[in-house]
Structure 1
Amino acid sequence: MNFKVESFLSLLQKLKNIIFAVDKDLKIQFANENLCKELGIDNCFLVGEDIRNLLPPQIIQNYDIVPAINSVFESENGHEIYGATYSNSLSNKVIFLDIEMKRMGKERPLVLLIINDVTRRAKKEREFLLLFELVYLMLETKQLDKLSYLILTAVTAGHAFGFNRAFLLLVDQEKKFLKGSMGLGPTSNEEAREIWTQVSQKSLHDLLLMFNKLSSKEELPLFPLVEKLVYRMSSLPNFIKESIKKKKVIKATRWNEMIKKKKIFDILGVDEFIIIPLVSGDRTFGVIFADNIFTRAPITAENFEELNIFADYSSLAINRVLEYRRLENRKRELEEYQKLVNRLKDTLSFSEKLSTIGETVAYIAHEIRIPLSNIGGFASGILRKPDDLERVRKNAGIIADETKRLERLLDRSITFVKGPEINLNLENINDVMTDTLESMSNDFHEKDLTITKSLDANLPLIPIDRDRVKQAVLNILRNAVHATEKDGEISIKTTEEKDSIKIKIKDSGKGIAKEILPNIFNPFFSTRKRGLGLGLTITQKIVNAHGGYIKVESDVLKGTTFSIFLNKKKESKQVE
């Protein structure tokens, strides 16, 4: 920047307004008296100077100053430019201008340029807009490092608070130390000019995207300096204590006699800096140090009010991110716990399977022992007296019965262990029920039981395995016969439900106690002395394999009702 432009900007910031009158050749023909007086001359040397040599090229190009002046000359209409922005990469400062143009005179027309420095007003407006933008971005940010970068960017960006550097110090988890976490800013004057030129036109959102390109905060140039900023919480310097206690931004200077230890000024390489406290309620999250090491611009209390508001929002955002991190850690712990629970369940399930297999083997061994003993005994009897044909026939009959008993036992055991194999065919469930009841007729007759049938004649054919369904119903009927006293009653009813066929088997027996009812389908659970406890387990497996389900209702001394629901559509599955 040339000397004339520097002088113009310096005077504008001091006078707050400057007035020029230029001719069609853009030569200055008049300047306000304050300007000349400030320069200390009677005849202002600016007269005859080209306006383009005074206004910053950035303003002339970005806001089309020359075409605007020419337009005012030609049309006689005025022209206004509000909030023209000039960024000085050397000072990391942004200047805001309002420029008003008016034509004056007819024979020798001139254009009057009224240039007002509105930086203070515009900065206030932008700072409040910045706070709104910050709040929005903070709400979106869930990573502590990303939030830290955003906070420090707001402190150092020229169109924000505009400090040269900023350092974030956070309280550790144990609340024993205040440690440097992140630093943002250049490390030299050359780097400062380069960075400030790059970021001057970027929004906070754009600047935040730059952080995404970093693999870690350690890549930031100031990180080696950040690592030196460590304090014990029990012995914080007075200036940090004061800022945290008052929850206010304060300025620390090397010349302040209250600050006994000056080491921090040597570490930062400055004579003054500010402390921004990050406190919410009674909880202290940390502090921010900010300085102007390169521009050496004096730190004033001009923006402290906005910085205090900014600190409040930043504290709330840090608290939110830390809570989010805590919940994420808790979530991960719960997920790990759930994985452990699932592993334990798998282990328990495997142990239960081993236990079930062991119980199955024990029961089968117990149940096989009696018929095998009988078979062995009666076979020996045949061998001893092979000529006694009557005895041989009697013993052979007993052996045949015991063999069938063994076959039934093995069939049940295999069905329980492997699960029933289902072969579906379209069948009339009423035929299956009639066939099943006929096979139980002797059992009914022995107890003089009354059998009531109510079979819906309009039922559709359904896909079932006839033999398996018969086996399932037989198991329920055998239990019903066992539970029902002599001269009792058993009723069988079939009906069509919405998507299924319902088989209802009701007895007038002694019923099942409430505390026992949840266990009746468990393997090896039986209330009979010689019961294997697999009948209802197998029944449930068969019904489930058909895609159906069973409901049980029971009242002690009144009886029990089993309701089997079988799908009308093909929906079978192999049960393990």
Structure 2
Amino acid sequence: MADLDLRISGAIDHLSHLQSLFERLEMGAMVVDSNFRICWVNKQIRHIDYCLQSLDDITPEHPRAIDRTLCGGCPVARACLAPRDRLFFSEQFTDRHSQTRRTFSIIIQHLSNEAEKPGPFIVFVRDISSREAAFREKQELQTLLANVLDNTVDAVITLDLKSEIHSWNRGAWQAFGYDKKEVRGKHISMLFPADGAAAQSFDEIHRLVEEKGFVHNHRARMFTKDKRVIDVAVTQTVMNNSAGEPFGHSLIIRDISKVVHLEQLLSHKVIQLTKLLQMDDIIRSAKTLEEITDVILVAVTAGEGLRFNRSFLLLVNPIAQNLAGVEAVGPSSPEEAHRIYSQHFFEHPTLAEIIHQRQILGAQADLFVNEMVRRIEIPLSERSHPLIRCLMENRPYLYMRGGAEDGVLQPVLSHIHSDEFVAVPLVWQDQHIGIIIADNSVTRREITMEDIQFLSSFASRAASGIASIQLQEDLRIKVEELKNSYKELSRMQETSLRHERLAALGEMAGKVAHEVRNPLSAIGGFARLVLRTSPSEENKKYLGIIADEAKRLEDILGEVLGYVKMASEEFLPQDLNALVDECRMIVERQNPDKRFRILTQFDPELPLLACNANRLKQAFINILQNAVDAMGRNGQVTIRTRRDSGVALVEFTDTGVGIAQENMAHLFEAFFTTKPRGVGLGLNITKKIIEQHKGQISAKSRLGEGTTFEIRIPMDLKEGNHAGYPQKEASYR
């Protein structure tokens, strides 16, 4: 309303050049604002006796409020305070001087389309005691009213009771483009389309006017002469004659297209900001690089996101120093696009639901476009490449086919098959992370500057999320490396301490074993000698026990001495098959009371092997003896030799009880044994012997089925140096 008051003041200034016209009128005139203050009067109204309120010294700068206490006796005051749907008044009043009854006409022109307040307005007052005076006044008032209406910026239209246009001011011509001659007598519905929301607006306005007698600032859409659609605010009231009977309608129509456009822009920006905040929340919830790339690409293409058809993610590879395709989202064909869009049209999935669905599909999601994007590799050294410039200069790039850069982009275009795309950089705190490429290759919708700005805003948030994930991954790797380093350091410390203890123990054990071995050999030798010559069966029993235990102690001392001092002997070419077969025979002789058999499958083309024969026999015998000890009666050991890519391979497979899984990790550790009378050095010594030959030993076992030891030793490959040892099967013992 304050705006309208200012407009009235401006109108008065504008009408200053009409002041002489108002002063020459044979009627009184005054302007009243929305607060019922008289802002301006002409000299004629000052001399009208029936106006009981003093009107002297009134100017626009010094308005005077209407005295409401005079309404009972002042027709002007009554007219000013009357309902706004009354525009014409005929008042009778007794002249105070002549005591005669005189008739005056009062015409009020409201200059506001607001129904809440009846101002501001212009009041015209004239003595119409005679018919001739009333007729002249009507003509003059109509002319003056038309002049006033033509100077307003709003469209002011009057209708008859048939809703046909009766008057059409300049504001209506400027708003709709029709001349008054083109619309006079036409139905007002010509400004509304025959169907759609605009037609509904016309019906709604008509219904409200029928119910209430007026409609205020009702928003609608109307058509201009050149078929443009404009947004308007419509105020419509019923006009009544002096008898209170309706004779038409008045419409004030204001073009609010610019206001609506600004509201739409603001609403669109709010929606965009809301989407960005939602997508930012989802990005922050991602835990891995794979998750965040899914989130970013889905957000670019989803209906709840940026609504592009396809999106491609290229990240900087710091090792290869290139920009490489990582992942993509989008249909591979128009048919697939139609299927996806149709499904989403009816289901309306949220952004989070789409991302969850992709996580379920895994590697099968968008397989075709993923294969395309992963072929893209652009060296970072190609600074003139448009996509590298986009990344390094941190600014978006819009490509349209047919430009000067078709040639340099051809390798990329051959993979993504796009005629138009936008690339935006992923940069976070001067860290160049990669780029997002998006297009509308299916719908062919043009990429606008608004699309690019929205995508750029999203890319800054995406870059922050990727940088955070990469930082977390780097930190995780560093922490893992520190943990591994700490474990390795602890292991090395434990190994060092263990070696020190074993060295001390070995030195002591070597001295003790050396001092005990000779007397023990004598005891065992004499016990066996007496055993052969003693006639007493009871003595033979005890002597046999002495001889066996002495032999067992000799074997233990042998293992201890072998562990303490691994003799460095000369490596000579040996026939590996013959060496293994000799070990077979030794083990068979050492176990005459056990029923088992040893099968051999030797490679006759196996070359000679440079080795320490005694040490290898010790290793092989240890394995064979363990196999015999693990088997029951009628057990079987199979020995295989073969050549495998420059390596001599020996396998020992038994049918014994097998080794428990929890013991496999300790199998080659010193002093680890599951035998009730074992020392636990046999396999440890075997491993050391094999390692002395630059070889490897491994084992695999299953409880109840048996164990296989595999030994791999590098060969001395010389042409014609074959062993030629035949396959054979040991006799059943």
TM-score clears 0.5? no
What's the TM-score, normalizing by structure 1?
0.43
Larger radius of gyration: 2
Bigger relative contact order, structure 1 or 2, given CA contacts below 8 A and separation 6+? Answer: 1
What's the TM-score, normalizing by structure 2?
0.35
